[in-house]
Chain A
Amino acid sequence: MNEWARRLALGAGIPLAIVAAGLVPYLAFRSDLPERVASHYGVSGQPDGSMTPEQLLLVVGVMMVLGLGMCAVVALGRHRFQPMVAPAMSFIGAFIAGLAAGILAMTAIGQRGLEQWQDATLSPWALILWVGGSLIAGAAAARIASTLPSDDLDDAGDIPPVMDLAPGEQVFSTATVSARWPLMLGLVNLILALVVTALAEPWIGMFLMLAAIAVTTFSRIRVTADHTGLTVRYGFLGWPRTSVPIHRIATARAIEVRPSEWGGWGYRGNLTLMNRAAVVLRAGPGLRLDLKDGKIFAITIDTPETPAQLLNTETSRLERTQGHA
């Protein structure tokens, strides 16, 4: 697909598909719906709020316009976005629109032929399909947006010289980044979770508790670089981990990381969906890897020159051995 076909797919193709997914079942079953439809459900799955079908269409329509508007801005916008902005916006936009279309479709299919809205039930499978389908729509939009041209990063950095290594010499670089803010954030989250569990709905508390655990994985990160490539281990258990194998790396260099350029703090982006990913714990020096397929990975560490040199050395070593073979 050329660039305009991709812009058309993001700005019109995906939106049309999403709107159709919601509107077709709605129009088909409109006459079979009760006077008011259930629009909100309690924790136990019992409906506890209702609207007329027209009101529902309006609410859902506003969500869809908002979401699809975000995709359209990315697809039709003449100016280039910062690298990770376009995929992130497209993902959120298509995801919101997908959720909206899903509400319309679920209501139309699930509540047709009911006498009154109180009889409505929710199937867990429909919920899974709803969220899953919306995530897929978001991922598809992000994937397309990531192929559109974007602004270059301000600081490309210099490629450091390779190390002076004897043929039998092996090098291994380690860096441990301990950050306090994820622990503090996790603690606040945990307190919030306990309060919510005690006072209100336990499942929201559970969700917050998972978020508290997730955020603490960024409190300790170990970065190692060697002949196999770059490995990043998160948390006190060293799991999960991210690896960039040496054969995928084209160049490594030291850069200044500005969180705004990478979409904020934490693990930002996604190599598959957005062509870029970064582990950002602070502003300042970082290591940037340009992969052979044009994707970019970055991580904030001190003295990134050392692993950058090491990886460039191992990359050229690998090329030399492959050249001989």
Chain B
Amino acid sequence: MIAIKIVLVIIEHMLWRIDTQSPQPLHEQLAGQIRHGIATGELAEGEKLPPARDLAAGLKVNMHTVLRAFQTLRDEGLLEVRRGRGTTVAADAKSNTRHVELARRLVSEARRAGLGNREIIRLVEVQL
């Protein structure tokens, strides 16, 4: 017998959390949370994020803070920001989070070793 299962109800949920007294800037905290959510699968690829206005009101932060976080993540290829259609998690976001994380590690280790911006870019270019 073939069992056909129709998914009738789909539920996505997420807890957003920021600390206004932390030294880390609010937009970085927010971006970090979204990155973490994507990496753990809590935010699925293609999922729609809450509107920036709602998120700002809920977390008692300025809307520009939220938009700035969204923009950073769009530049990292994790989010797709489309006018009028809201912000969604990019289709290949999950694999991108890994590359972004590796790049971040590369930059911070290279800095610690005393390399400048140009040298770090050269390092990557050589590998291309």
Residues of chain A having any CB pair with chain B under 8 Å: 166-181, 222, 224, 226-228, 281-282, 301-303, 306, 310
Contacts and interface: CB of A to CB of B under 8 A. Distances in A.
Given A174-B50, A175-B11, A282-B8, A169 B18 contact: yes
Contact of B15 (A166, A228, A310): A310
Interface string B36-54: 0000000000001010001
Interface in B10-46: 10-22
Interface of B: 6-22, 48, 50, 54-55, 57-61
A177 B14 contact: no
B71 to A, nearest CB: 19
B22 A172 contact: no
Nearest to A303: B13
Contacts of A302: 11, 13
Sorted from nearest, which 4 A-B pairs have the closest CB atoms? Answer: A168-B21, A172-B58, A226-B58, A175-B13
B14 A173 contact: yes
Given A176-B12, A181-B9, A224-B50, 8 more contacts: A166-B19, A170-B17, A172-B58, A173-B15, A173-B16, A179-B9, A227-B58, A228-B57
Contacts of A282: 8-9
Contacts of B50: 174, 222, 224
Q: Chain B CB within 10 Å — which of A174, A175, A177 has the most?
A: A174
22 contacts: A168-B22, A170-B18, A171-B17, A172-B55, A174-B58, A175-B11, A176-B12, A176-B13, A176-B48, A177-B11, A178-B9, A178-B12, A179-B10, A181-B8, A224-B54, A224-B58, A226-B58, A227-B58, A301-B11, A302-B13, A303-B13, A310-B15
A251 B108 CA distance: 46
Nearest to B18: A170
A180 B16 contact: no
Given A172-B55, A227-B60, A166 B8 contact: no
A174 B11 CA distance: 10
A178 B55 CA distance: 20
A180 B10 CA distance: 8
Given A168-B22, A226-B59, A174 B9 contact: no
Nearest to A178: B10
A170 B18 CA distance: 5
Nearest to A170: B59
Q: Chain A CB within 10 Å — which of B11, B18, B20, B22 has the most?
A: B11
Q: Chain B CB within 10 Å — which of A170, A177, A179, A282 has the most?
A: A170
